[in-house]
């Protein structure tokens, strides 16, 4: 049973990784891919921690959730700043945010 859950999490992980690599131009897709990647890692930690009856996986998943929340807030603020400056959310125009 745990192998099925771990294989499902690896499927989510590689799906998120392929989303990040294939949709590099779209900032929102990259953010969603990173969130899905972190959530699949959380599920792996939780399943393995439940299987071996240990609490460290739950603690790691809470830390990863905190990092994911911070990452999404910073990413969305960069997205809003980019849209205000360039009027697009494409990753091709991210150099415009750097001031000389």
Reported as a single tens digit per residue, the pLDDT across 34-84 is 999 999 989 999 998 999 999 999 999 999 999 999 988 998 888 888 788
DSSP state of 55: S
pLDDT of res. 66: 93
Which of 12-16, 26-30, 75-79 has the highest average model confidence (pLDDT)? 12-16
Cβ contacts of 48 within 8 Å, gap of 6 or more: 2, 6, 57
Question: Selecting from 1.10.287.3510, 3.30.300.30, 1.20.1440.230, 3.30.420.40, what CATH number does the domain 2-97 have?
Answer: 1.10.287.3510
Is pTM, for the whole model, over 0.75?
A: yes
**Domain extent listing, the chain:** 2-97
What ranges in the chain are assigned the alpha helix state H? 2-22, 27-52, 56-86
């Amino acid at each position: 049973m745990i192998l099925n859950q771990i294989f499902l999490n690896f499927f989510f992980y590689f799906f998120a990784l392929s989303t990040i690599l294939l949709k590099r131009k779209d900032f929102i897709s990259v953010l969603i891919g990173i969130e899905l990647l972190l959530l699949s890692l959380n599920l792996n930690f939780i399943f393995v921690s439940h299987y071996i009856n240990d609490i460290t996986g739950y603690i790691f998943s809470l830390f990863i959730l905190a990092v994911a929340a911070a990452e999404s807030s910073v990413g969305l603020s960069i997205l809003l700043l980019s849209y205000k400056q360039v009027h697009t959310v494409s990753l091709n125009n991210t150099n415009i945010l750097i001031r000389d």
